[in-house]
Chains A and B, each alone.
Chain A
């Protein structure tokens, strides 16, 4: 008995040694949500995650890639084995894409990830209460509607998600494109008026009243595509809210809007304030430039030699167009011709043999961005095709560019309004004047009259590489036409497929017709 007591004691003592732990976790390098909202600055930083989600816009394989590679602006050619990548970029170009292309999943997650973050923060600020919270909530609701607008534009029929508080295992249901349209419109009309009518450094990069109106202009401009019912007058009204505010004006120098330091542009309405150090993600410098262009711009990393402008798109510019020539800038919206290092040495491709016909002054290895591309695949010359250079390349750039990317700018608002007026049979007078303002800035003579063809072409030249070309082609009925290395595509291709992964995860999603 005596021993049993001792054993008991020892056992208890051993247990006592461990009882200092109740296994409540100690948090080292993460902050439990319950501890996070400790001060006001924490609420501001929490708001930030709704915006930083936008940084994905200009990544390779994201929204920009979807727009540019599926339109007549550019393609990612197969330069020998390089950029073959399972053929996905070929299928995007030829409109033979399926629901398994990675870019669709990326754009879907970009939008709905942003939407869920907005919903989460709306709930957070609703709980917090107060005037600041109310302002944040309106802002977040408009941002949430913008993400839905992208979904509406790209995927057409898809779910609306307007709350964070969903039951366990909740799987949202697809609604029709017109239902989604109606919801987005209602969100805008309800919440945009609550936003500050201020355009200053305090609202830079944020959704203000004018950003909201620009979103609405975009929604109404494409309303006929989305719902079958045109809303030209509403588009004009939204544009007027921006134009009449006198907060924005056309920059005299077109390229001021795309400069490395373009924060002072009087034209940019809503930007993603990219920064090489603080706000990375704008990787166009890597995506389009040739490996050897590293020496032209003294780039820190070697570019990837992917995106090439299509010859017809290049040729749609008149020779004297400032947007093509660059005017006072060394290069226009596209880089072409022989390429030189920053010290003026002709660049050569030292590796091997994908460009033998592209000689310059007898040098077969010279790197010459020839706007004519020999073929899309598999043997595209490595230096074939002009390169995208609308956004100024900073000398010594890291692979994330510091140029702010304008999702909406004043020049587009003018063209949107002009188009809406023209569609309502007001093609002369103010509409023509607005288009000619744009042409005049580009150093071109004005049009005498407006035709659909001119309109589309001018929008193309002005808004190239701003992720506007795909909806423009669709609205003008040209999306399914044949172009270089692409046959005519089926009408259903104007709505992209719902990503296959999501369909298999959520049985309430409905695949778009044709896929």
Chain B
């Protein structure tokens, strides 16, 4: 290693000396928007009368070696007026460009930037001004509804819950279904390590041709996050802060104590509103202070973010500190640019027990919270838990620390040729502590106190190097890029649990004190594993006369998640565009670009070592009078496992009409994923286990995306500009598992609705993903039991007589289309934004109704009563009645802001705003939240943990093949009102 470092140093010196010997005049500076001082990324700087030029980087800065004798530079940026500036003796030239009509913006693509007019793939950019506002605690929330083709959905109000992100539907099943996040150039970054306040812009690479530069991880799209940076000028202090108030938006319709009595339920003598007892009005606050500034050679930004977020369930929420430091320094005649970025997040969460909602729904409303002696009232019974005891006694806390340290060095060997090297390290440390004290029945049963501690560390190291050459020949401008990338991922963890404590006093802080460890029934475990990615890539971009654009890229990538023969995959892409407005002089057409792109991307298996036969310890085995561990294969190995690949064709139009008042883009795509990596049933015998990870199945998705923006009015005192976004896609399962053309998946759960051999969702070859199935409800029999239609005879039969053919498709969990409409008004100093979001045509399985609609005689549990309920139903039994259309329109986000006139004061800018989130919903759905459920967390019954959730860190792994199930443990969604202030000095 030492030898290598020495080699590096020598080499670097050699390069620097070599370049310094090349005498030229060097000019550098920053190009900004003259109006607001914001840096312009990708502005072009040309030595006048030559072909020597460059473009500005992400900070708006540039450095250009002009040939001797050059008198001036020409600075141009689309949408701004060109400027020609005499050089004279200066080496530093900063330019403020005056805005013209902004047609184009610069877009961050993988490993570089491109002008939007040159983009030939399908790429969407969202700037800070378009982000959602209010109590926004995660980066994904900023984008909800803002990008055509990007579905972001939560469907619950859990402050610690994560959002589901899906770009153009599902293009994988067993691998990574969420887009790759690239944070300031670091692929595989964690969105949770970036405070939304620090984000400057987000670019989304949607199609295969755009994403292919990220090869193996681009199949589900790429989200590129660019953080705010300092710029040259006076040091600036910016404060952004808000306070918000959050309350439950909607609950299932359950009977009140009086209604329960009137209906003949078992009267326990009290009246309790269980929802009210477990919930609260959640008050939250957020403060962000950013210090930024810069000189000719340096710029910096330091941000400090604090959030204190409460949930509407008592004792849930988090508080978070986040610090983001970025410094850029130029040296060696501005040829060398060094950037250091450090982001640290420390978050303490109270995850709590949101399952309390489920038990609050069914708990007898005439039962008291407490017994006469002051203990919690917890009558015994199956799946009966006092929800107030759960939220007040149960402790489930998480501490998470995330670090991203990133250093990038670039060196302009010549003005046109730049070499860049990046090293980044990310680390995430998550610690969970749980304690269920002896007076809590939930998760304890007869144990006297149950505790758990778990810790998971994940980290990765990234090494990347690129070489970029920008050149031109005649009216051809071109950029060449070559690079290598290596990334190593580590993950490891520890878990221990124990029970039966003498006292509850120490909770999980004295894990060893529990008596369960004495007889060996306490749990102790750990894991640790590694994988690597190694890639070489290249890209060429051509711009011919600002009219024809071509881009081609290839990435060859290898991973040790595959056996030797299949380790490497090659992922090529090509795309082209033509600006028709340049070819023909069309009236009222300012821009009309036709794009077409084709790209191949890949996906990794979700686990390590699948190709190799590996042994792990199994249960104990009785040998010679005592137990010894048994060892055997973990699973069937598949040495032939290879990359999952996705091929995508994208056709798009970008247009600006009527003096650029009407802007928009239209994309049509077809993507096909083949060799999907799935845990596939295999015959037993001869296999050891019933499943093997194999390349099987294929998916096709076709979709259309439209973005339309129209400046209805735009003058000094009043403007109105609506933006419409439309998304539709369908994913067809072309082929499924070998010899398994169809399969029921997902289970309803206990009590009594474990669907053996059946399921709520049906996967079928040749059919859409997301199909929801149910037996068709016919009527009630004399005893109040549901009867169902026998699909072959049409007669009403008992549930147990139903065959799988009688389970019919009654809906789809994925919407037909999604629509959002953003309305921005400015009236003088006021700005008003109304953002509506809707999804149409999807269904949800209302599990609250499926379980709790029945009202048996002398009922001891409460029931859900909606106008959809069947009168007289005595025993719950899932049917077509419980699958509801969940089309909705929400006023998702509304804000009213006032910007103070600050020109005469020392204050740079000041804006006060009032924002509301989830203000109202129009829907026929009777459950908690009609929003799309992209995946299913599974059923959790009787206090059981979700399958696979042994470490309890990231919540339940979702079954992405089963959209559309509204589970009973859904954290009710909320309505939020926020008052905020942004001010800068």
Contacts and interface: CB of A to CB of B under 8 A. Distances in A.
Verify that A and B bind, or say they do not.
Answer: yes
Interface of A: 2-3, 6-7, 9-11, 13-18, 21, 23-33, 36, 41-42, 44-49, 51-52, 55, 78-88, 90-91, 98, 100-102, 108-109, 112-113, 115-117, 120, 159, 161, 164, 166, 170-172, 201-202, 204-206, 273, 275-281, 291-292, 294-295, 298-302, 305, 349-354, 356, 377-379, 396, 398, 501-502, 504-507
B616 A80 contact: no
A396 B446 CA distance: 8
Given A81-B876, A277-B521, A352-B859, A23 B266 contact: no
Interface string B303-334: 00000000000000000000000000000000
Contacts, number: 320
Contacts of A164: 686
Given A17-B486, A33-B614, A87-B800, A350 B856 contact: no
A65 to B, nearest CB: 11
8 contacts: A13-B11, A24-B560, A36-B631, A116-B687, A164-B686, A171-B683, A201-B625, A353-B860
Interface stretch (B82-90, B753-761, B924-932): B753-761
B528 interface: yes
B588 interface: no
B560 A112 contact: no
Interface stretch (B214-222, B350-358, B801-809): B801-809
A275 B559 contact: no
A350 to B, nearest CB: 4
Contacts of B752: 78-85
A353 B857 contact: yes
Contacts of B567: 23
Contacts of B528: 28-29
A292 B380 contact: yes
A3 B856 contact: no
A48 B633 CA distance: 12
B161 interface: no
Given A36-B631, A275-B627, A300 B559 contact: no
A25 B609 contact: yes
Contacts of B633: 33, 120
Contacts of A55: 619
Given A7-B413, A23-B560, A378-B783, 7 more contacts: A48-B629, A86-B755, A100-B804, A116-B684, A120-B688, A298-B446, A504-B739
B683 A101 contact: no
Contact of A506 (B608, B616, B683): B683
Given A31-B614, A80-B752, A112-B684, A23 B534 contact: yes
B421 interface: yes
B339 interface: no
Contact of B799 (A87, A353, A379, A396): A87
B413 A6 contact: yes
Interface residues of B, number: 113
Contact of A294 (B445, B625, B685, B756): B445
Given A23-B534, A102-B756, A113-B690, A14 B421 contact: yes
Looking at A2, A85, A116, A164, the one whose CB has the most chain B CB atoms below 10 A away is A85
A275 B620 contact: yes
Given A52-B621, A350-B384, A102 B614 contact: no
Contacts of A24: 560
B616 A31 contact: yes
A507 B738 CA distance: 12
B725 to A, nearest CB: 41
6 cross-chain pairs, A with B, having the tightest CB-CB distances, nearest first: A48-B630, A87-B800, A48-B621, A49-B632, A351-B381, A14-B465
A353 B756 contact: no
Given A46-B632, A86-B756, A204-B625, A18 B484 contact: yes
Contacts of A506: 683
Nearest to A42: B631
Nearest to B625: A201
Interface of B: 4, 7-8, 11, 14-15, 18, 266, 379-382, 384, 413-414, 417, 419, 421, 445-447, 463, 465, 467, 482, 484, 486, 488, 492, 519-521, 526-532, 534, 558-561, 567, 608-609, 612-625, 627-634, 681-690, 738-740, 750-758, 783, 785, 798-804, 851, 854, 856-861, 874-877, 942
A278 to B, nearest CB: 4
Nearest to A404: B622
A164 B685 CA distance: 10
Looking at B266, B379, B484, B756, the one whose CB has the most chain A CB atoms below 10 A away is B756
Given A113-B684, A115-B685, A48 B618 contact: yes
Contacts of A350: 379-381, 384, 860
Nearest to B630: A48
Contact of A18 (B8, B534, B687): B534
Contact of B527 (A6, A15, A29, A108): A29
B757 A170 contact: no
Contacts of A87: 798-802
A23 B619 contact: no
Contacts of B689: 113
Contacts of A171: 683, 686
A352 B266 contact: yes
Contact of A17 (B463, B529, B684): B463
A136 B14 CA distance: 67
B623 A48 contact: yes
Contact of B529 (A28, A80, A83): A28
A48 B688 contact: no
Contacts of A100: 757, 804
B123 to A, nearest CB: 27
Nearest to A200: B625
A202 B446 contact: no
Contacts of B613: 32-33
Contacts of A26: 530, 560
Contacts of B687: 116
A15 B421 CA distance: 12
Given A17-B463, A33-B613, A171-B683, A25 B266 contact: no
Given A23-B558, A280-B619, A90 B800 contact: yes
A278 B684 contact: no
A278 B618 contact: no
Contacts of A275: 620, 627
Contact of B686 (A49, A90, A161, A351): A161
Contacts of B18: 2, 6
Contact of A7 (B417, B615, B617, B859): B417
Contact of A3 (B414, B530, B559, B560): B414
A31 B529 CA distance: 11
Contact of A112 (B382, B614, B685): B685
B628 A44 contact: yes
A352 B861 contact: yes
Nearest to A61: B756
A11 B751 CA distance: 64
A87 B529 CA distance: 43
Contact of B630 (A49, A295, A353, A504): A49
Given A84-B799, A377-B800, A299 B446 contact: yes
B498 to A, nearest CB: 13
Contacts of A27: 529, 609, 614
Contacts of B559: 23
Nearest to A291: B382
B446 to A, nearest CB: 5
Given A100-B804, A161-B685, A501-B681, A7 B467 contact: yes
Looking at B620, B684, B689, B877, the one whose CB has the most chain A CB atoms below 10 A away is B684
A48 B559 CA distance: 34
Contact of B755 (A82, A85, A301): A85
A93 to B, nearest CB: 10
Looking at A3, A23, A115, the one whose CB has the most chain B CB atoms below 10 A away is A23
Contacts of B521: 276-277, 398
Contacts of A78: 752, 800
